[in-house]
Amino acid sequence: MAENLLEVRNLTITPAGAEASVLHDVSLSLAPGERVGLIGESGSGKSLTAQSVMGLLPSELRAQGTVSLQGFAGNILEAKERALAKMRSDLVSMVFQEPMSALNPLMRIGDQIAEVLRIHGEVARGDIPGRVLDLLASVRMPDPNSARYAYPHQMSGGQRQRVMLAIALANSPRLLICDEPTTALDVTVQKHMLDLISERVAAVQAGLLFITHDLAVVAGVCDRVIVMYAGRIVETGSVAQIFTDPQHEYTRGLLASSDLEATDAHGKLFTLKTALSYAGPIGKAGPNDETGAGEEVAAEDEDEQSSADGPADVREPAPASAGEASIGDGSAPLIDVSGVSKHFRSRGLLLRRRSPVRALDDISFRVASGQRLGIVGESGSGKSTLLNLLSGLDRPTSGHVRVGDIRVESASSSALRSLREDLQIVFQDPFASLDPRMRVEDIVSEPLIARGIARVERLARVEEMLLAVDLDTKAMRRYPHQFSGGQRQRISIARALVTRPQILVADEPVSALDVSVRSQVLNLLTDLVDDYALTLLFVSHDLGVVKHLCSDVIVMKDGHIVESGSTEDIYAHPREEYTRSLIAATPSLAGALASAT
Amino acid sequence: MSGDPSTTSAGDASVDRGRRTKLRLNASMIIGAVLILLIVALALVSFVWTPYDPSAVDPAARLQPSSPEHPFGTDKFGRDTLTWIMYGARITLMVGIVAVGIAVLIGTPIGIIAAVFAQYPWGAWLSAVIMRANDILLAFPALLLAIVFAAVYQPGTGPAMVAVGIAAIPGFARVARSGTMQVLGSEYVRAAKASNRNAPAIAVVHVLPNIAGMVIVQASVAFAISVLAEAGLSFLGLGTQAPVPSWGRMLQESQQFLSTQPLLALWPGLFIALAVLGFNLLGDGLRDRFDPKMEARGNG
Amino acid sequence: MITYVANRAIQFVLALIVASVVVFALMSILPGNAAQVALGTNATPDAVAALEARYGLDQPPLIRYFNWVVGMLSGDFGTSYVTGAAITPVIVGSVQVTAILVIAAIILAIVIAVPLGTFAALEQRNWIGVTISALSQIGIAVPNFLAAIILVIIFSLTLGWFPSQGWMAPVEGLGGFLIRLVLPVVSLALVQAAILTRYVRSAVLDVMREDYIRTARAKGLTRTKALFVHGLRNAAIPVITVAGVQLATLLVGAVIIEQIFVIPGIGSELVRAVANRDLVTVQGIVMVLVFLVLIINLIVDVLYPIVDPRIRNAS
């Protein structure tokens, strides 16, 4: 025990002036060079624990207990700022969640890296520029030489996070803390970043405390896992132990609801409540664990697929090109998008003139009635623009969009109105998509008001709809801030379905939700799509979610359709390199575990 | 792609911040409201009762210090200062109400319209023109505009109120525009559009309730500015004219007697400062309440 | 950067043109008759007509406007109908006085406010920080003319350290100039310093909550050092905006201070011209003030990209 790198004893954190603590009696330790994952959902206290180790707790929080670090004399919680400053970066470093704001916007990248070398004075002044170059190269920054002179806003999120890693490891600390370092990044970038963190931590022989809400991520990176819930540690164990034999009810629930490939007897995703019957991710390695053995797995899967899902191939001939995708059966499609482009011209005052941004470029696809189509892409792929066109909130620059019998590009405003009666949207952010100053009953009845339905009937339908999304009718008189994220998303779904549309568009509806809530909302969505015989367009960056929910999928990148077809097919035989990398990068429990054990 | 906003470390720590803000917000809002109520009460009482007639001249009691008969003393004609302070409160509040009224009623719609127009390709240039015009108006500070009005028309309370009101328009237009832009860009407005609500319905149902807070804060700030501008103008002799009592002119007239009777300057000065302080404190308190970005920012 | 500055410069010129139209319209068209105003309501129609003819007021407004603008561009603000004297020398002389006053005041305000505001932010939870905040809140509520009167009572009438009024040009005697400068400048600066202190404090508090400050601390800087190295320059951006607005406010606010201290600045000339019903002079002075306000805005706009590379690269 004595030679532990990090030793946290009975850490309790209480807001100044408050009675109740937000972190209760947390104890954990980390051996030199060990990699520990700290897992929990929002409000679990995992970030507070990390900040305590760095001595970066906000001053309005009172911490009790001891935090000791090898090489640092005394209790970090009681140390003076000056002593802590000397310790930071020298003994312990941190990579934060939000790369967009973690770097000083007014300072060149090179100077920001050089600063951390200068502060600790371990590198001779003359050697600093060379060392900065080495560091940038070590985090595989493209063109490290010119990157030195760039400002943060000129870099992508992934690049900034590389810079953060270079800064964190510049003085070879003994412990690196990563607080959700990849949560704000695109999936493909996330994978590279995780590999890079693993590699660099090994290179400088540091210990790693990796904080995340994502079980799949932690399995690939860490040896040991600590699970936190509501300010307490509920379970600790090796990755294999936690994943195969979770002891605590919450861990089991988290594990079960993280696994999008497992379903219960009713074909539903597991939730915290149904987690008891979850068998674990072992032995059902999916096609998406490209962890070195990708080809074998894919080959294996091919057999499985062709025997189980044979008719899919017959029904669905391979599209002629990536731009022209036809999905669904032969009957007249409900949605027909052909050759659609959307360009945005950035408007400058007087002197500026820029070439247009091509948000969408020659997009074509069809959706049959009752179909569930997933639209997958990373940020900037044009997903949101496409949704705006489909819902008539925007018009294409060229091409045709037909929804039902309405031609969106030339529709009159009354035609657009009737289009919107048939097509409703569930938005991504449950905190932004509900007007904070309206009651739930007014929010849900808004689409009915526009249709001129009388108040009594409106209220009846709102009540019915709230019950359908498993909310109490008491909710009607409340305001959005009185609900949790998952409940808000239910309200959002109720609003979308209250007019009984034919088509439901879900724009990243679960990406802002905690994992345990995510499966509940997804189950609800599946039920409602069945009950109301909806055609579903499900937009997501998460292949796992799409795979569970959708029969067909479109993969988008930079405003183009890269690939499309049945979900099973695309997963089993991705034709395009981009799709392959996307599948490979998507963290999966089984895959991560297979590589960890 | 967007991450999980609820798992940031700030989210973990923000629990107590809201609670503390509430305490502080109350202090600032209560002090502000009390000061304003005091001045409103002075003005209202002056309609039914004042210690003396404001025009009652008493040559025997000139330039007196505080006494039981004249708690605030008397001026060079022996008129009761407390009476004048009470009457002065009327002018101060009237100028504020009229000026802020003008600015709210003109500035807020301008800002909303500019923001709404900016959404459409045909309206973008119009929106830009409106805001440019607004910026140019900003180059005429309240006091300067009031002086111009006093030069062109007769100096008096009327032109002063209108000038201060016009000068305050850009402030409201800016606040209303940025607030409206924010609301119109929100997902709940996208949802409302997807639910077939038309632009006027969105403006009434979503925009107005959500920008009301910011407009109220701005009104409080504008009220403080108008109190200052009226006092300054009257001090220059370009605002409220004799014999109507006004704090600014009382202060100006006290200048001759600074060495003999400095109390004469103290009272109007104190009340001007209290009025401004009251509206500023109220504005700060309201801002903490309405603008989450300002949360945990101290106010006093 | 160049496009950005050019853009701002064009906007400045456009704003100036529109402002000149507004000023001209207000002063020369709306009230109807400048000559009538100058002579008073009792003047005979003949006298009014004679004055109109003498100063070209019988010409159409458009021509008068162009004559006025062309005159100003060549440095000629015209002739006063009331005194018959050229306006330009009056404006040039008084603008210099006001400029000295206002620039000294804003420098003093910045020198007071930046350290005080930063300190108040760092000591946010201590009594010192709270006291600074409270004092600045009270300071804002004190109009500059009240500050001037209080300062005069204390430092002039009671202590006798400084004269209570008057002005001396620096060339006439530096000591006399400086001693007369103190009270007006301090009364102008105090209120602005109070306002600026609050802005500096809140800008610093905002910056202290930024992620990059946390990064800097994680790098091994203390809280205070992180603020000085990374925070202050970021906090400067909103503070520059406020200081620009304040400079413009001071320019006009100086009108009252000049009256109190009997200083021959542009504000005193403006009030005198208004009292004399000398509309041409008022028109010229107002235009100069608006020009200065717009110039200050332009300078602030040009300062942004120098401080902030994001704006530099945006265009």
Residue C280 has pLDDT above 70, yes or no: yes
**Which residue of A104, A120, A151, A177 to mutate against C (max C Cβ within 10 Å)?**
A104
Rounded to an integer, the average pLDDT of A186-210 is 89
d(CA A125, CA B295) in angstroms, rounded, equals: 43
Q: Confidence class of residue A596 from pLDDT cuts 50, 70 and 90?
A: low
Q: Confidence class of residue A262 from pLDDT cuts 50, 70 and 90?
A: confident
| C146: chain B residues, CB-CB within 8 Å | 251, 265, 269, 272-273
pLDDT tens digit sequence for C178-223: 888 889 999 999 989 999 998 999 899 889 888 999 999 999 999 8
Cα radius of gyration (chain C): 24
pLDDT tens digit sequence for A479-526: 888 888 889 999 999 999 998 999 999 988 888 888 888 888 899 999
Residue C132 has pLDDT above 50, yes or no: yes
C36 touches chain B (CB under 8 A): no
A56–C234 CB contact, under 8 Å: no
Is the dihedral angle over the CA atoms A232, A235, A239, A245 positive or is it negative?
Answer: negative
Give the domain extent around B82: 15-53+71-294
Q: Does the residue B3 lie in any domain?
A: no
CA distance A443 to chain B (A): 9
**Nearest-by-CA chain C residue for A80:** C222
Residue with the larger pLDDT of the pair C29 and A334? A334
Residue A114 has pLDDT above 60, yes or no: yes
3-class DSSP assignment, residue A11: strand
Q: Confidence class of residue C36 from pLDDT cuts 50, 70 and 90?
A: low
Residue A279 has pLDDT above 90, yes or no: no
Q: Does the residue B179 lie in any domain?
A: yes
Report the candidate in A143, A190, A193 with the shortest Cα–Cα distance to residue A164. A193
Report the candidate in B244, B225, B281, B219 with the shortest Cα–Cα distance to residue B90. B244
Residue C110 has pLDDT above 80, yes or no: yes
d(CA B54, CA B67) in angstroms, rounded, equals: 17
Report the candidate in A236, A189, A194, A192 with the shortest Cα–Cα distance to residue A40. A236
Burial A531-550 (b: 16+ CB within 10 A, else e): eeebbbbbbbbbbbbbbbbb
Do residues A160 and A193 touch, judged by C-beta distance below 8 A?
no
pLDDT tens digit sequence for A142-159: 889 999 999 998 888 888
CA distance B300 to chain C (A): 4
Residue A283 region by backbone torsions, left for phi larger than 0, else alpha for psi between -120 and 50, else beta: left
CA distance B36 to chain A (A): 28
Q: Does the residue B88 lie in any domain?
A: yes
Is the dihedral angle over the CA atoms A212, A218, A222, A227 positive or is it negative?
Answer: positive
C215–A103 CB contact, under 8 Å: yes
Q: Which of B6, B13, B20 sits opposite A42 (nearest CB)?
A: B6
B265–C294 CB contact, under 8 Å: no
Neighbors of chain C by Cβ distance (3+ pairs < 8 Å): A, B
Do residues A567 and A546 touch, judged by C-beta distance below 8 A?
yes
Do residues B243 and B55 touch, judged by C-beta distance below 8 A?
yes
Residue A306 has pLDDT above 50, yes or no: no
The structural domains of chain A, with segments of one domain joined by +, span 101-172, 246-303, 333-596
3-class DSSP assignment, residue C287: helix
**Nearest-by-CA chain A residue for B182:** A432
A residues 436-495 closer than 8 Å to B (CB): 436-438, 443, 446-447, 449-451, 485, 492, 495
Residue with the larger pLDDT of the pair A288 and A503? A503
C153–B258 CB contact, under 8 Å: yes
**Which residue of A95, A100, A435 to mutate against B (max B Cβ within 10 Å)?**
A435
Residues A574, A186, A261, A282, Cα dihedral to 10°: 100
**Nearest-by-CA chain B residue for A98:** B8
CA distance B83 to chain A (A): 45
What is the structure's pLDDT at A355? 58
A512 touches chain B (CB under 8 A): yes
Residue C98, CB-side half-sphere exposure with 13 Å CA sphere: 30
Residue C247, CB-side half-sphere exposure with 13 Å CA sphere: 24
pLDDT tens digit sequence for A332-365: 788 999 989 988 765 544 444 455 677 888 889 9
B151–C150 CB contact, under 8 Å: no
Do residues B44 and A87 touch, judged by C-beta distance below 8 A?
no
> What ipTM did this prediction achieve?
0.82
Report the candidate in C259, C301, C295, C254 with the shortest Cα–Cα distance to residue C96. C254
d(CA B295, CA B216) in angstroms, rounded, equals: 17
3-class DSSP assignment, residue C2: helix
Do residues B177 and B119 touch, judged by C-beta distance below 8 A?
no
Rounded to an integer, the average pLDDT of B188-206 is 88
d(CA A509, CA A506) in angstroms, rounded, equals: 6
What is the structure's pLDDT at A134? 92
Q: Does the residue B128 lie in any domain?
A: yes
d(CA A437, CA B198) in angstroms, rounded, equals: 19
Tokens for A484?
Answer: 């949790």
Tokens for A535?
Answer: 């055609």
Mean pLDDT of chain C: 86
Q: Confidence class of residue B7 from pLDDT cuts 50, 70 and 90?
A: very low
What is the structure's pLDDT at C197? 93
Residue A323 has pLDDT above 60, yes or no: no
A420–B195 CB contact, under 8 Å: yes
Residue B253 region by backbone torsions, left for phi larger than 0, else alpha for psi between -120 and 50, else beta: alpha
d(CA A255, CA A279) in angstroms, rounded, equals: 10
Q: Length of chain C in residues, anyone? A: 315
CA C104 to chain CA centroid, nearest Å: 11
Q: Confidence class of residue C101 from pLDDT cuts 50, 70 and 90?
A: very high
Q: Confidence class of residue B292 from pLDDT cuts 50, 70 and 90?
A: very low
Superfamily of domain A333-596: P-loop containing nucleotide triphosphate hydrolases (3.40.50.300)
Residue C29 has pLDDT above 70, yes or no: no
Rounded to an integer, the average pLDDT of C68-77 is 88
Q: Which of B141, B269, B297 sits opposite C202 (nearest CB)?
A: B297
Do residues B19 and A18 touch, judged by C-beta distance below 8 A?
yes
3-class DSSP assignment, residue A27: strand
Q: Confidence class of residue A15 from pLDDT cuts 50, 70 and 90?
A: confident
Residue B297 has pLDDT above 50, yes or no: no
Question: In a 10 Å sphere around its CB, with 0-12 CB exposed, 13-18 middle and 19+ buried, how is residue A14 labelled?
Answer: middle
d(CA B3, CA A428) in angstroms, rounded, equals: 11
d(CA A379, CA A374) in angstroms, rounded, equals: 16
B259 touches chain C (CB under 8 A): yes
Q: Does the residue B5 lie in any domain?
A: no
A541 touches chain B (CB under 8 A): yes
**Cis omega before residue A430 (within 30°)?**
no
What residue type is assigned to position A331 of the chain? Answer: S
Q: Which of B143, B152, B155 sits opposite C27 (nearest CB)?
A: B152
Do residues A372 and A553 touch, judged by C-beta distance below 8 A?
no
Burial B46-66 (b: 16+ CB within 10 A, else e): beeebebebeeeeeebeebee
Q: Does the residue B276 lie in any domain?
A: yes
Do residues A447 and A424 touch, judged by C-beta distance below 8 A?
yes
Residue with the larger pLDDT of the pair A51 and A312? A51
Rounded to an integer, the average pLDDT of A529-542 is 90
What lies within 8 Å, CB to CB, of A227 at 6+ separation is A39, A40, A233, A234, A235, A236, A242, A248, A250, A251, A254
Report the candidate in A212, B159, A552 with the shortest Cα–Cα distance to residue C274. B159
Q: Does the residue B89 lie in any domain?
A: yes
C230 touches chain A (CB under 8 A): yes
What is the structure's pLDDT at A456? 92
3-class DSSP assignment, residue A69: strand
**Which residue of A106, A135, A178 to mutate against C (max C Cβ within 10 Å)?**
A106
Q: Confidence class of residue A284 from pLDDT cuts 50, 70 and 90?
A: very low
What is the structure's pLDDT at A301? 35
What is the structure's pLDDT at C315? 46
Strands (E), A396-483: 398-403, 406-407, 423-426
A59 touches chain C (CB under 8 A): yes
Strand A224-229 to strand A35-39: parallel, antiparallel, or no bridges (unpaired)?
Answer: parallel
Residue with the larger pLDDT of the pair B13 and A168? A168
Q: Which of C140, C145, C282 sits opposite B232 (nearest CB)?
A: C145
Do residues C36 and C43 touch, judged by C-beta distance below 8 A?
yes
Q: Which of A102, A116, A120 sits opposite C211 (nearest CB)?
A: A102
Q: Of the given ranges (A16-20, A421-425, B234-238), which has the lowest mean pLDDT?
A: A16-20
H or E element: which one contains A278? none
What lies within 8 Å, CB to CB, of C243 at 6+ separation is C106, C109, C110, C196, C300
C residues 122-161 closer than 8 Å to A (CB): 125
Residue A6 has pLDDT above 90, yes or no: yes
What is the structure's pLDDT at A307? 35
What lies within 8 Å, CB to CB, of A231 at 6+ separation is A13, A21, A22, A23, A24, A26, A43, A44, A45
Q: Confidence class of residue C287 from pLDDT cuts 50, 70 and 90?
A: very high
Q: Which of C214, C218, C222 sits opposite A93 (nearest CB)?
A: C218
CA A282 to chain CA centroid, nearest Å: 23
For residue B230, the domain's CATH number is 1.10.3720.10
Residue A462 has pLDDT above 90, yes or no: yes
Mean pLDDT of chain A: 83
Residue B294 has pLDDT above 60, yes or no: no
Which residue has tokens 């999936």?
A187
| A99: chain C residues, CB-CB within 8 Å | none
Q: Which of A16, A424, A431 sits opposite B194 (nearest CB)?
A: A424
What residue type is assigned to position B276 of the chain? Answer: V
Q: Does the residue B135 lie in any domain?
A: yes
**Nearest-by-CA chain A residue for B199:** A450
B188–A433 CB contact, under 8 Å: yes
d(CA B3, CA A214) in angstroms, rounded, equals: 11
* Residue spans of alpha helices (H) in chain B: 9-13, 15-48, 81-117, 124-138, 142-152, 157-184, 187-194, 199-202, 208-236, 247-254, 263-290
pLDDT tens digit sequence for A353-402: 455 677 888 889 999 998 999 999 887 788 888 888 888 888 888 899 99
**Domain count of the fold of chain B:** 1
Q: Which of A15, A379, A446 sits opposite B16 (nearest CB)?
A: A15
What lies within 8 Å, CB to CB, of C293 at 6+ separation is B139, B140, B141, C248, C251
d(CA B275, CA A547) in angstroms, rounded, equals: 65
Q: What Å distances lie between residue A456 and A442, A459, B197, CA to CA?
A: 13, 5, 20
Residue A211, CB-side half-sphere exposure with 13 Å CA sphere: 26
**Which residue of B140, B174, B225 to mutate against C (max C Cβ within 10 Å)?**
B140
**Nearest-by-CA chain A residue for C7:** A351
**Which residue of B228, B256, B288 to mutate against C (max C Cβ within 10 Å)?**
B228
pLDDT tens digit sequence for B136-181: 888 888 888 888 888 888 888 888 899 999 999 999 999 999 999 9
Residue A300 has pLDDT above 90, yes or no: no
| C233: chain A residues, CB-CB within 8 Å | 106
